Chains A and B, each alone.
Chain A
Amino acid sequence: MLGLGGLMMTGAPNRFCRELIRAGRTDLELVVMTGGMNVDWLVAAGAVRRVLTAIVSFEGYGLAPNFRRAVERGEIAVEDWSELTMLSAWRAATMGVPFMPTRAALGTDIAAGLPERMWTSTDERSGQTFTACAPLAPDVSVIHVHEADVLGNARVDPKLTWIDGELAKASRRVIVTAERIVDTDIFRAAPERTAIPGYAVDHVVHAPRGAWPSAMMPDYQHDAGFYRSYVAAAKDPGAFGALFRTLVA
């Protein structure tokens, strides 16, 4: 089970995903709470068996075309989580408890669709109804950051991790890909800005422009032209294959 960080069109570990495709990996089970191009690329390459997600979005650029097609053809399985049920399942895993209760997803179809993952229950003492989320811990997760050192200390600039920090906590192993590898003294000079502690990181990879075409501000915005041409090309297998081979993997 492979976790991928990022927040849709921001900070996704996309260069790592391209390398996964080049390495010919298949049969992946992805945990991507807030996905986008990362999921669509891996699905386009036939690398994915199942996606656990709350959302796979290109925002205003349209639906993620390969993800959409593969689901509609039954080629991949999707587990439809919400963000807080997944966060709760991660927390159950880190705290070593059989489930984490939350009010999230009550009254929706989410729990009924994932009976192995969560269920609706009523507390005997208070009488309150809640969603119980069973533990979920990715075997390994990949998180893209602005700066890392050789010890694995990682930070983003400005300090934004959103789900990435939570994903790091919940994963058995963590790979950090970084725009820049910097000296540990940089971290010591401003330790309050460190987002993930070095002791929690197993591997550090230097990956300049590693979030492209998602954004890594203030270094670069999302690549609007790429999103547009990607969505347009996906309508034609020949055009899409050419674009994918040239620009992605």
Chain B
Amino acid sequence: MSAHTVAELMVARLAREFTDGTRAFNGAASFIPVAAFMLARATHAPGLTWCSGSIGVDAHPEAISASTIAAEMWEGATMLQSSPHDSWPYAGFGRLDTFCFRGVQIDPFGNVNNTIIGSHSAPRVRLPGGGGMADLGCLLPNVYLWSTTHDARTFVERLDHRSSMGWGDGGDHRERLGLPGGPRLCVTNLAVLDFHPESHRMRLQSVHPGVTVDDVTAATGFDLVIDGDVGETDPPTVEEVDLIRRLDPTSMRDLG
């Protein structure tokens, strides 16, 4: 068995973004982000706040379950927030600030489609729908994206449907709409991408060990911003891998 899997690298890389000041919550089927919140809290960010499934405040589940919105995931919580109206308003002044999305399609500005491939009049693939993406993408200043399928079908120039607002049409689009922050980072199975500070177009930050810049550009359906040297993503430490495997003994992270 290799020292770590790609999913473990993604968890560890995402976890490094979070700090003691992070106030995070999560949605459905969010195994990699949940593992990252738990890993960050168990290592460098013990003060991180995580509302499990948006419901269980500061939960300490034994292990990641087959649903990331499930009662076994809010064991040990200090409060169960019993309605979106009990928790989402705390985003208003940034007292909740962090969420992670994945998308079946992601565009250069970090907008996400999880609704439909094709059009509503002629759908080719019906997807689950955006859930609260359209809401939290507008309300929260810190959105992180992840994808386990970095290919030209996922990373597309134009979405078939914009389920959530990232940097919108780029530039100051969010600011014009009065929206805070925006997508910070996108962690994929090949690379780590951030966003150019002015155009807000996706920029290649690092490639994972064994992956080349050409591999990433070939797997991306739009032109990435590449300025300066592209580094290599730091692999997880032995301690991090060990912790991830204990937090997620059934490898739910392999589902993304």
Question: At the interface, yes or no: B135 with Cβ under 8 Å from chain A?
Answer: yes
- Judging by beta carbons under 8 Å apart, are A59 and B28 in contact? yes
B178 touches A82 (CB 8 A): no
Q: How far is the CA of A62 from the CA of B71 in the complex (A)?
A: 21
**A107, B168: Cα distance in complex, Å:** 6
Interface size on B, residues (CB 8 A): 51
Contacts of B173 in A (CB 8 A): 107
Give Cα distance in the complex from A67 to B128, angstroms: 9
Residues of A within 8 A of B66 (CB): 59-60, 222, 224
Q: Which residues of B contact A63 (CB under 8 A)?
A: 126-128
A88 to B80, CA, bound (A): 22
CB pair A60–B255 under 8 Å, yes or no, is yes
Pick the contact of B129: A7, A56, A109, A128 (CB < 8 A).
A56
Tell yes or no: A137 within 8 A of B by CB: no
Chain B positions 132-147 with a Cβ under 8 Å from a chain A Cβ: 132-135, 137-139
When the two chains form their complex, are residues A221 and B165 in contact, meaning their CB atoms are under 8 A apart? no
Asked whether any CB of chain B lies closer than 8 Å to the CB of A105, the reply is: yes
Stretch at the interface among B81-89, B183-191, B192-200, B206-214: B81-89
Flag if A57 contacts B29 (CB, 8 Å).
yes
Is the beta-carbon distance between A217 and B29 smaller than 8 angstroms?
Answer: no
The interface stretch among B12-20, B37-45, B156-164, B222-230 is: B156-164
CA–CA, A129 to B255, complex, Å? 38
* Docked-complex contact B85 and A87, CB < 8 angstroms: yes
- Please give, as numbers and ranges, the residues of chain A lying within 8 Å of B83 by CB-CB distance: 161-163, 165-166
Q: Is the CB of B28 within 8 A of A55?
A: yes
A84 adjacent to chain B (CB < 8 Å):
yes
Let me know if B130 and A8 touch, CB within 8 A: no
**In the complex, chain B residues whose CB is within 8 Å of the CB of A217:** 70-72
A165 / chain B contacts, CB cutoff of 8 Å: 82-83
Q: Closest CB of chain A to B34's CB: distance in Å?
A: 12
A157 to chain B, nearest CB (A): 10
Q: Assess whether B178 is in contact with A128, with CB atoms less than 8 Å apart.
A: yes
What are 16 A-B pairs with beta-carbon distances under 8 A?
A10-B71, A54-B132, A57-B131, A59-B67, A64-B128, A71-B123, A72-B123, A72-B125, A82-B135, A84-B135, A85-B135, A104-B135, A109-B115, A113-B161, A161-B83, A163-B83
Q: B residues bordering A, Cβ < 8 Å?
A: 28-29, 31, 55, 65-72, 80, 82-85, 88, 111, 115-116, 120, 123-135, 137-139, 161-165, 168, 173-174, 177-179, 252, 255
Question: Which residues in A have some Cβ–Cβ distance to B below 8 Å?
Answer: 7-10, 34, 53-57, 59-60, 63-64, 67-68, 71-72, 74, 78, 80, 82-85, 87, 102-110, 113, 128-129, 158-163, 165-166, 195, 215, 217-218, 221-222, 224
The 6 closest A-B pairs by CB, nearest first: A217-B71, A82-B134, A84-B135, A107-B165, A55-B131, A71-B126
